[in-house]
Amino acid sequence: MLVMTEEKFTKEELLARAHKPSADALRLHPFYKGKIQVVPKCSIWDFDAFGVWYTPGVAASCKAIKEDPAESYRQTNRANTIAVVSDGTRVLGLGDIGPAAGQPVMEGKALLFKYLGGVDAVPLSIDTKDPDEIIKFVKLIQPSFGGINLEDISKPKCYKVLETLRNDPEITIPVWHDDAQGTAAIVTAGVLGALKHVGKKLDEVKIALLGVGAANTRTAYVLHAAGAPFENMIMCDSKGIITKDRPDIVADKDYDSFKYDLAQKTNPEGITGDFGVALKGADVLISASKSEPGTIKKEWITYMAKDSIVFTCANPLPEIWPWDSKEAGARVVGTGRSDFPNQINNSLGFPGIFRGTLDVNASTITDEMCVEAARAIAKVAEKKGLRDDFVIPSMDDVEIFPYVASKVGMKAIEQGVARIILTEEEIYTLAKERIDEARSLTKSLMDNDFIKPPIE
């Protein structure tokens, strides 16, 4: 992780280091020819084993599922398998680059699911931009999966896809949009940790959000579910601060109903102007906007309240360099990158959230389950000792994922959306076993040279 101090690195050195992961990616992706593969999980004692795993023995399992569809969760790997579904229209900060170009991200997501959460994830980049076709695709593949992770789908289409599938009685597995619910959970975790550190309360602070896309839209709702009043929020898009009577928002209320809804609930004073105006007196800045340093002006940060918190989450580059935010007076600064302190990254949340969801066979993932995950992540950071450069843990903390899984699983049980009832200790133990197994498998493949060391 980079350290934002002049004593250790100059800004030029920090900038060079910030670009290094991209150079390494271009070198190592072709070397490994992708990031995931399929390996057996059953014993193959000799060739007679295939008579059990395939024909004729497998017919008995097929008949069992035919008699009781719930058996598919016991006779196959469905209970631990999800699909990562994307149309490639909103990939990272790159925009509409298409399904093939988005596939490296989907493979990366599958890798993180397995290594951090012990979840088997299949990346499926599909060649359509039609929301109705995406919905149909998910419905058609439902029998193979225990859950669906929607990824990098542009808004407002992503809202229609998510809400239609979540509310369809024919969909019996959880459907989740990581760019919305996942980002919201992690941002909320960071906000909770940072506010605890600076001694402020969620129900009292002013929160300014730049960007009214999938990420910040759901973040506003999850923050509200966690205790932040809508009237203490102010949101800004590329045209300026959103207000309940802004003509374009009113005209598009059926097209982007969530944006319209938030325009009615936030900014009760009807303040207008650019994001600099929105930041006046703000305690918290949350940006999910343009991936370009300079999108947020350094002087705007100076308008914020004392002990301000700045989370600029665009990838691959933040909307303002973290050292500029610090120089402008921000106390706590986080970005979406792993090479700066306080990474606000979905990888802290979705592995444990899905782990807990799958282990209790939940039918959905609610906002309250996301809030519970956020509180669990913030609690881990608090136990380790909060600092300006540490208000949220990093993904190398093995404690996070089974802990998040246990809290999410219990919330699912409490809300009545779980089909398996376990104790919190049982969920934690099961999650830890599965995560440890996934990590041990990877280590074994590396130790035995089936996964080669990376080229220099």
User: In the prediction, which pLDDT does 108 show?
Assistant: 96
Edge-to-edge, what's the strand order for the sheet holding 207-210? Answer: 240-241, 233-237, 207-210, 284-287, 309-312, 332-335
The three-class DSSP label of residue 156 is: coil
pLDDT in tens, 261-282: 999 999 999 999 999 999 999 9
For residue 10, the model assigns a pLDDT of 64
CATH number among 3.40.50.10380, 3.40.50.970, 2.60.40.10, 3.20.20.70, domain 35-179? 3.40.50.10380
Q: DSSP secondary structure string, 130-144?
A: -HHHHHHHHHHHGGG
Angstrom distance (rounded) from CA 367 to CA 288? 19
169/386 Cα distance (integer angstroms): 44
Residue-wise pLDDT for 46-103, tens only, equals: 999 999 999 999 999 999 999 999 999 999 999 999 999 999 998 877 889 999 999 9
Collect the ranges in the chain with pLDDT lower than 70: 1-11, 13-15, 18
Specify whether 109 is catalytic. yes
Do 35-179 and 180-456 agree at the fold level? yes
Q: What is the pLDDT of residue 428?
A: 98
311 DSSP β-pair partners: 286, 334
Residues 6+ apart with CB under 8 A from 418: 360, 361, 362, 363, 409, 412
Q: Which of 54, 239, 384, 443 is catalytic?
A: 54
pLDDT at 338: 82
Q: Where are the chain's structural domains?
A: 35-179, 180-456
Catalytic residue among 109, 155, 259, 379: 109
For the segment(s) 180-456, the CATH number from 3.40.50.720, 3.30.160.100, 3.30.43.10, 1.10.1780.10 is 3.40.50.720
